[in-house]
Structure 1
Amino acid sequence: MAIHSAAAHSSDQVLPFRESLLAMLGIAFVVMLVGLDSTVVGTALPTVVAELKGFELYAWVATSYLLTSVITVPIFGRLGDFYGRKPFVIASIVLFTAASILCGMADSMLWLVIARGLQGIGGGMLVGTAFTCSPDLFPGAHVRLRWQIMLSTAFGISTAVGPSLGGFLTQYWGWRWVFYINLPVGVLSLIFVSRYLPHLRHTAPDAKIRLDWPGALLITASLGCLQLFVEMLPKHGFSLGMLALLATSIAAFYALWKWEHKAPQPMLPFDLLFDPKLSTLFLLSLLSGFVMFSLMFFAPLLYQGGFGLSPQEAGLLITPLVACITVGSIANGRFITRLKNPNVMLHIGFVLVAISCLGEVISNRWTAHGVIACFMLTGGLGLGFILPNLTIFIQQESGREHLGIASALMQSLRMIGSMLGTAITGTLINHLYADNVHRALDTEQAGAWFASFADPQILISRETQSTVLEQLARAGHNGRWLLEAARDALIAAIHMGLGLAVVVAIIALWLVRRVPAISLHVKREPDVVTE
């Protein structure tokens, strides 16, 4: 163990080029692990349910992962500030990979849900610690931007190939390999991280650290109840149970607020959350998550259910969105260090995202696929300008002692924004779709058939459509007209939902002017401890 001053190395990076490259390769493999899992599993889920049964637990395969990960991100982000990030990155790789194996071995839906919860703990640890390693290695923000292109590329490639890879593995090797594929990536990550990532600490080894366990428990209660409320709201509406979850989340957050103000080493420093230099950036992280997941989650439903496209055609239209996030991140890294005011890239990013959402709102079944792909491309570029800059700006302004928790808060708020985006937009779409379908059915005196049209999946499943159309024909109803009316109802509902995303993007654009002027020039950093 040795203590090195920042001046002992380049002021821009802690390690020489070769060691930096090997360390960043390890982090890139970790990023691929997270990116793959976030996209590859969804394709396999219908097959999983068909084999394991237990459709009532279908949503919980995703919910259990999100529930545990959104809780652990801020907790382990803070612990990484105290103890250094390398031990937690290694532990998270081991836990995530082991949980992936358990998922692949599942013989019931309950087993799979529990294993996904364990996997979410590992995923939250990864997001809370691994994504903060690059500012440790590269204190110079302009150098860090160039190196983070590796991470953006790794994430972009893994998310772009995830759906296709999931379909291939499920069809030819079986759905269990959707989880087993994490094993080789996890082993590569573990080798590179354990061998080449330095253990950097920003507190002295003999410094007395008091872990804020009450704070961790209150974070768990507040975020856990919020996650459950948001996930279950579209299905249950504002029932008594849902309101109880919301009230519990608010009460836990208030208790957290009171406790953390008197804790000597708070798990969640509220002074940081409401710091004038950071508060707007945190709010923009939440709004960007809202818009991004509203677009990514409901555009495929619009294309398949509304426009009647095949899953392959819909996938091709979505690909520019995912791919251009990487392209935008790479271009951003080349441009931003040359700008006198780096904040302008956030303005451009939110303008492009607003245009993309608006383009989806005005698209219809007769819009050329090339035009729709251009709207997706525009949104991807915009997100590529927004996401890395929010990360860099927050890391630049937070200070070394709060680097991990600041980055974790950003990731947590983006996840919360995505939950709110899918829940609020989903609830709006569900209600509008149901109302429009009711009116169409009543026009044909076919109100008794509402149960068949209540789930928009009927507009995607050819087999279900054939069955329902035969039954309607025997009953003397014009099934084709009703099906087209349901498509129109879904299109109108999703257009309204994505219109909300346009409004949120415009609000975010207005808020960008409140972001303080960011300087990406090198700041002298305090001593770090290298083990």
Structure 2
Amino acid sequence: MAVHTAAHHSSGQVLPFRESLLAMLGVSFVTMLVALDQTVVGTALPTIVAELRGFELYAWVATSYLLTSVITVPIFGRLGDYYGRKPFVIASIVVFTAASVLCGAANSMLFLVIARGLQGIGGGMLVGTAFACIPDLFPDSVVRLRWQVLMSSAFGIANAIGPSLGGFLTQYYGWRSVFYVNLPVGLLSLFFVWKYLPHLRHVAHEARMRLDWPGALLIAVALGSLQLFVERLPGHGLRASAIGLLALAVAAGWALWQWERRCPQAILPVDMFRNASLNALFTLAVLGGFTMFSLLFYAPLLFQGGFGMTPKEAGVVITPLVVFITIGSIANGRIVSRIRNPNLMLYIGFSMMAAACFAVALATRGTPRGLLMAFMIVAGIGLGFVMPNLTVFAQQTAGREHLGIATALLQSLRMIGGMIGTALTGTMVTQLYSSGVQRALDADHATHWLPQLADPQILINRDAQASLIADLTHAGHLGAPLLEAAREALVSAIHLGIAVAAVVAVVSVWQTRRVPPVKLQRKMEPVIHAD
């Protein structure tokens, strides 16, 4: 293997323009692979469960993926810092694509859950290494922000077409095609990464690294317990099993902190958390994830279940959110390198997210669709101003040695924020909706109909609604008003959940002052280029 120090080009990148473009296309296809999978599968889930008959494992199709990916992200982020990222990106594409084929071939829900767990390992490796390839290729943070638009665009396109593509494939080619679609995208990304992504390793890490296995195990226990706690909370409330899981997560987190302080080759460098700037950015990643995922998960339910839109109409209203994340990222790349205080973009971004969430929390069924789309545009631009800057600021602050683990941790913490946000919002929505429906049924002496109205999904399925109204009317109850009362209970519950997300965004604006002024340096650092 020929090893030589890569010459930096005057434009602040390791490779010339053409090679940089081809390498970034490879990384963008990898990003698209993960983003597409996350959005496409959700649409197909009801059909999968209907065929494989395993409703008790419904949540686990998503949970097993999230669980394994959240655990593997920091592990492979650290390994990439030591050995270079290219081998792990290649391995992750192979694992992810092979697991997708296994998911498509599943003949039971248990098989699908296990295959999704394997897919999550590939997804975690991808997120932990692919995102950190960009600062390797573009050491100049100003140049990096411009190139990062390519990755943001791939992410935005995948998120925008994912739900519609999932619906189309499931309807015309069956749910298995939703997993098989990863095969061509995986092969395409494998070709570009294998051929054009250079194998860059940092000069400082010439010695052989010994992996911190106890640290990796404690990360798995801490994040795994937290994920399971969050997953169980909406449906089961604060039962003894949920409190036990939370206690285990806290205990494993404390043990991890103690171990990593003494470990000479810690997988999670504790000194990063002592850095005031990184600490503030990590906090903002959790808070940003909370707001973003609460809005992404519950706005569609509000529009369909609460405002009576069809899935297609709700999709049209939601689409500007994901499209304008990309547009916001492009605008951010142009603005942030030209202003004296780049931190200002975080203030603007979080303020826009807060304003959009408050607006959605006040929206009613009579709010014009155009105005709802305007709220989504504001939220999308706000996210486009926040997400790339958190990543670039963290990479800038962490320095070359901790670049991979800092990038990976930021992604993990955003997911953890999202997990907490969706779980808390979900718990509030479930409790408030149930109590609202219970009150309406009590008033009409129809309490025994609670099981039929207990799941808000009844407010989305129009055929089921017509049938239920007919049954209620036949039994001597006011069918349509009862259903309307359930709808109002759902709207009130989601309004409160999204208002909490708005308050979290306001807290994020306040927290942004903890980030010391970031200077986007045009600093070149030597890397080893191993072909």
Same fold (TM over 0.5): yes
1:472 offset after TM fit, Å?
1.1
The corresponding residue for 2:59 is: 59
Matches of residues 141-180 of structure 1 in structure 2 within 5 Å? 141-180=141-180
Aligned partners of 2:101, 2:5: CA distance in 1, in Å? 42
CA offsets, 1:275-309, max 9 Å, x none?
Answer: 11211011001101000000000000001111111
* Partner of residue 75, structure 2: 75
Tell me the distance in 1 between the aligned counterparts of 2:26 and 2:187.
10
1:495 equivalenced with 2:500 (yes/no): no
Alpha-carbon distance between aligned partners in 2 of 1:382 and 1:63, rounded to the nearest angstrom: 28
Give the match for residue 272 of structure 1: 272
The question of whether the paired residues in 2 share the 8 Å contact of 1:203 and 1:529 is answered with: no
Deviations 1:460-502 (A, max 9, x none): 1122212222221122100100000000000001111111011
Output the CA distance in 2 between the equivalents of 1:417 and 1:374.
25
Asked if the contact 2:201/2:527 (under 8 Å) is kept, the reply is no
TM-fit CA distance, 1:133 = 0.2
Q: Name the structure 2 match of 1:514.
A: 514
- Say if 2:23 and 2:193, in contact at 8 Å, map to a contact too: yes
Note the aligned Cα RMSD (angstroms): 1.3
Q: Is the 8 A contact 2:85 2:133 kept in 1?
A: yes
SS of 1:338's equivalent in the other structure is: coil
- Per-residue deviation, 1:234: 0.6
**Aligned counterparts of 1:203 and 1:336: Cα–Cα separation in 2:** 30
Q: How does 1:356-435 map to 2 (within 5 A)?
A: 356-435=356-435
* Structure 1 equivalent of residue 308 of structure 2: 308
Q: 1:270 & 1:438 partners in 2: Cα distance?
A: 49
Rounded Cα–Cα distance in structure 2 between residues aligned with 1:341 and 1:373: 31
Deviation at 1:10, TM superposition (A): 3.8
Q: Structure 1: how far apart are the matches of 2:322 and 2:475?
A: 45
CA distance in 2, matches of 1:257, 1:529: 34
**Which residue pairs with 2:471 in the alignment?**
471
Give the secondary structure class of the aligned counterpart of 1:201.
strand
Mapped to 2, the partners of 1:120 and 1:8 lie a distance apart of: 35
Whichever residue aligns with residue 209 of structure 1, its letter is M
CA contact (8 A) 2:82 2:205 kept: no
1:204 and 1:529 in contact (8 A); partners too: no
Paired with 1:526 and 1:516, the residues of 2 have a C-alpha distance of 26
Conserved 8 A contact 1:82-1:203: no
SS of equivalent residue, structure 2 residue 402: helix
Q: Give the CA deviation at 1:273.
A: 2.4
- Mapped to 1, the partners of 2:113 and 2:84 lie a distance apart of 31
Q: After TM superposition, give the deviation of residue 68 of structure 1 in Å.
A: 0.5
Could you tell me how far 1:38 is from its partner in structure 2?
A: 1.0
Deviation at 1:209, TM superposition (A): 1.7
**Correspondence list, 1:38-49, <5 A:** 38-49=38-49
Could you say what secondary structure the match of 1:365 adopts? Answer: coil
Superposed displacement of residue 436, structure 1: 1.2
Deviation at 1:147, TM superposition (A): 0.7
Q: Note if contact 2:8-2:524 (Cα within 8 Å) is conserved in structure 1.
A: no
1:28-49 per-position Cα deviation (integer Å, ceiling 9, x unaligned): 1101101100101111111111
For residues 77 and 103 of structure 2, the distance between their equivalents in structure 1, rounded to whole angstroms, comes to 26
CA drift at 1:527? 4.2
Offset of 1:113 from its aligned partner? 0.7
Deviation, structure 1 residue 196: 0.8
Equivalent position SS for 2:48:
helix
CA contact (8 A) 2:7 2:14 kept: no
Give the partner amino acid of 1:400.
R
Which residue does 1:31 correspond to in 2?
A: 31
Amino acid at match of 1:57: L
Once the two structures are TM-superposed, the CA of residue 204 in structure 1 deviates from its matched residue by 5.8
Shift of 1:521: 2.3
Per the alignment, residue 338 of structure 2 pairs with 338
Deviation at 1:232, TM superposition (A): 1.1
Q: How many Å apart are 1:274 and its aligned residue?
A: 3.1
Q: Which residue of 2 aligns with 1:328?
A: 328
Partner of 2:284: 284
The match for 1:187 is 187
Which residue in 2 is equivalent to 1:228? 228
Deviates more, 1:386-395 or 1:267-276: 267-276
Give the Å deviation of 1:316: 0.5
Show structure 2 runs of 5+ residues with no match: none
**TM-score (ref. length: structure 2):** 0.98
Q: Distance in 1 between matches of 2:519 and 2:176?
A: 48
Label 1:8 to 1:478 Cα distance change in 2 as closer, same or farther (>3 A).
closer
Q: Is 1:295 aligned with 2:295?
A: yes
1:160-219 Cα deviation digits (max 9, x unpaired): 000111111111111111000000000011011011111111146751322101000000
Map residues 7-26 of structure 1 onto 2, 5 A cutoff: 9-10=9-10, 12-26=12-26
Match of 2:249 in 1: 249
- AA partner of residue 172 (structure 2): Y
Name the CA distance, whole Å, in 1 between partners of 2:341 and 2:134: 23
Task: Name the residue aligned to 1:97.
Answer: 97
Does structure 1 conserve the Cα–Cα contact (< 8 Å) formed by 2:203 and 2:527? no
2 CA distance for matches of 1:474 and 1:313?
A: 32
The answer for the alignment partner of 2:263 in structure 1 is 263
C-alpha distance in 2 between matches for 1:414 and 1:41: 21
Deviation at 1:348, TM superposition (A): 0.7
| Partner SS, residue 514 of structure 2 | coil
SS in 1 for 2:277: coil
In structure 2, the partner of 1:125 is 125
Aligned in 2, Cα 1:266/1:205: closer, same or farther, shift over 3 Å? closer
Alpha-carbon contact 1:432-1:493 (below 8 Å) kept: yes
2:420 matches 1:444: no
Higher deviation after alignment, 393-402 or 461-470: 461-470
For residue 9 of structure 1, report the CA deviation from its aligned partner. 4.2
1:102-142 C-alpha deviation (Å, 9 max, x unpaired): 00011111111111010000000000000110000000001
Q: Distance in 1 between matches of 2:378 and 2:208?
A: 50
**CA distance in 1 between partners of 2:6 and 2:161 (Å):** 40
Confirm or deny: 8 A CA contact 2:92 2:122 kept in the other structure: yes
Structure 1 residue 530: Cα displacement: 3.0
Measured in 1, the distance between the counterparts of 2:256 and 2:47 equals 42
Supply the distance in 2 between the matched residues of 1:381 and 1:96 (Cα, whole angstroms): 31
Provide the rounded CA distance (Å) in 2 between the counterparts of 1:245 and 1:9.
51
Q: Secondary structure at the match of 1:519?
A: coil
Contact 1:170 1:177 in 2 (8 A): yes
Q: Under a length normalisation based on structure 1, what TM-score does the superposition of the two structures give?
A: 0.98
- Is the 2:12–2:524 contact (alpha carbons within 8 Å) kept by the matching residues of 1? no
SS in 2 for 1:425: helix
Q: Which amino acid aligns with 1:35?
A: A
2:301 partner amino acid: L
Partner of 1:200: 200
- CA distance 1:139–1:237, shift in 2 (3 Å): same
Q: Which amino acid counterpart does residue 403 of structure 1 have in structure 2?
A: L
| Separation in 2, partners of 1:213, 1:322 | 38
Q: Is contact 2:304-2:460 (8 Å) kept?
A: yes
What's 1:504 paired with? 504
SS in 2 for 1:518: coil
Structure 1 CA distance, aligned partners of 2:385 and 2:475? 55
Query: Is 1:110 matched up with 2:110?
Result: yes
Question: Aligned partners of 1:137, 1:201: CA distance in 2, in Å?
Answer: 11
Deviation for aligned residue 1:7: 5.7
